[in-house]
Structure 1
């Protein structure tokens, strides 16, 4: 490794168990780069699918960092079931301390768990409450390789670009159709459209089942919101938004054939960007790539860029121990 492994007696590891839930969640909320997706009520909704190996990292008996993750064979993923899952750091931590925390975790994983490699999904910088890219420097110094780079489309809401002509045209069309936007809990009516869209285009299902997204919304009612565009009582389209301190992130988007024709999503995103989430720092439409970034969905990207969004990276690193 480019940085020597730390075995300082001041540092020690506690492997996560259910008894640590309150302590874990409290640290996530206070950390400089944690989001609600890294709290246990979100991470554990699919706990049966993954062999959890999340770590609490202490320095002088004080909880200083968390490393969410799971084991698969001799590989540690941070985290295989999440969009991101990098090391979570206290607000006061320095680079040298972050290096010690990270290397202590790696030493534990290697010696105690038999881990031979790490797959690390870094938290995109827009989700940080305070700068927290110490991990990227440490990874490179340790010899990690960038193995996946997915493009997400993001609008900085304090300096928005205007909608492109096509999006403005569709917005005007929607405004003449007497459509309404509803924020409610009728996930079922939206999910049927979403499932149909994903099956027709990609022959896949949503990552979350209807039961799972409904349960997650109940666990995080302020962070997970459903917006529907309706013609009377008929749902034409909508989106699910994950709200963190800095970002409104679109988790799912879908519209029916009628909704596409009348500009339902243009009306919805105009409302979300300029009003509902106008005071956030960023509006994140999510990724437009497949197969670890090797395939770019240019049509989807064109739509997002039409609203004024531009590219940031969702990066994955691999480190051999």
Structure 2
């Protein structure tokens, strides 16, 4: 029986890692080392490479915290990454070798968050099944809202009514290279005011990532009389566009500038042939576990609910 060899990522693996990501069945640019390492000072990397007869067969973007390993806390999603030709039985064997490796390294728990299913039309649930069969529990679920762009759009009548009205309000949509107007004038102050929080990425970090991934990270802003009133930061992958950030000023709220931008982008990416428009999660620390207002807003824009799963397996 073929033996799989698991090793921790080292900076010397930079090229082989990124070459594998470019060919993988279930990877996005978030797994490129240039993306993963923009916040390397915040996480202890514990990424793994799995070889069979010296050929790289799978990778696991991961970090370590105390005696636990996570796939990866600094990324929106994660999971075991492999090529399309890798069959399920080998995925099972690779997972077993990873669990052995974790135990040998005194890891007590492994937390796993796969990519939402709509990112990959060829499926991506092998690892979830094998984790479950080895005692993994569903630690939690989050509702991930997304528009299926391959189906007729289901934008609510009220949204479309306002959209047609505000089309005549002299609003200009601009794709811009400069993230500063949106970050400084809209996103950061509005998040602080409404939620007492900050963007996950600092302005300097998003500018760095934009420079490294110019075709994957885009900024769309809405201006009225040369004043920015709303914006959406897009992360673009092969099949999916994700609104990583969306916000509007008080003036923009009055003219529903953010809805105007969302609807225009939904139509834009539908024409471009993207499969899904991902609007992210709606979770909140309350009894119901979600933000009712956000859920309603995204459903009215045509979203339906997909699961974002989180698993935990104790290492025995």
Length-normalised TM-score, structure 1: 0.94
Deviation, 1:200, is 1.7
Equivalent residues of 1:98, 1:134 under 8 A apart: yes
User: Which of 301, 309, 313 lines up with 1:315 in the alignment?
Assistant: 309
User: Which of 276, 295, 300 lines up with 1:282 in the alignment?
Assistant: 276
Other-structure match for 1:247: 240
Alignment of 1:263-274 (within 5 A): 263-274=256-267
Other-structure match for 2:199: 206
Equivalent residues of 1:149, 1:293 under 8 A apart: no
Counterparts in 2 of 1:204 and 1:184: CA distance versus 1, 3 Å:
same
Counterparts in 2 of 1:205 and 1:280: CA distance versus 1, 3 Å:
same
User: Which of 154, 171, 191 lines up with 1:162 in the alignment?
Assistant: 154
Deviation, 1:160, is 3.1
Q: Matched residue of 2:262: which SS?
A: helix
Other-structure match for 2:93: 100
Q: Matched residue of 1:295: which SS?
A: coil
Other-structure match for 2:208: 215
Q: Matched residue of 1:21: which SS?
A: helix
Instruction: Give the whole-Å Cα distance in 2 for the aligned partners of 1:114 and 1:303.
Output: 45
Deviation, 1:201, is 1.8
User: Which of 7, 15, 20 lines up with 1:14 in the alignment?
Assistant: 7
User: Which of 113, 126, 132 lines up with 1:134 in the alignment?
Assistant: 126
Instruction: Render the CA deviation track for 1:91-117: whole Å, top value 9, x for unaligned.
Output: 111111000111111111110x21010
Instruction: Give the whole-Å Cα distance in 2 for the aligned partners of 1:234 and 1:94.
Output: 54
Q: Matched residue of 2:97: which SS?
A: helix
Deviation, 1:161, is 3.0
Equivalent residues of 1:77, 1:118 under 8 A apart: yes
Unaligned runs of 5+ in 2: none
Deviation, 1:129, is 5.4
Alignment of 1:56-205 (within 5 A): 56-111=49-104, 113-128=105-120, 130-192=122-184, 193-205=186-198
Deviation, 1:294, is 5.6
Deviation, 1:316, is 0.7
Equivalent residues of 2:150, 2:270 under 8 A apart: no
Deviation, 1:270, is 1.9
Counterparts in 2 of 1:117 and 1:294: CA distance versus 1, 3 Å:
farther
Displacement over 6 Å in runs of 4+: none
Deviation, 1:277, is 4.7
Q: Matched residue of 1:33: which SS?
A: coil
Other-structure match for 1:25: 18
Instruction: Give the whole-Å Cα distance in 2 for the aligned partners of 1:205 and 1:211.
Output: 13
Q: Matched residue of 1:290: which SS?
A: coil
Equivalent residues of 1:129, 1:245 under 8 A apart: no
Length-normalised TM-score, structure 2: 0.95
Equivalent residues of 1:173, 1:263 under 8 A apart: no
User: Which of 196, 203, 228 lines up with 1:235 in the alignment?
Assistant: 228
Deviation, 1:252, is 0.3
Deviation, 1:166, is 2.1
Equivalent residues of 1:153, 1:304 under 8 A apart: yes
Equivalent residues of 1:65, 1:89 under 8 A apart: yes
Counterparts in 2 of 1:208 and 1:294: CA distance versus 1, 3 Å:
farther
Equivalent residues of 1:224, 1:241 under 8 A apart: yes
Q: Note the aligned Cα RMSD (angstroms).
A: 1.5
Other-structure match for 1:5: none
Aligned residue pairs total 313
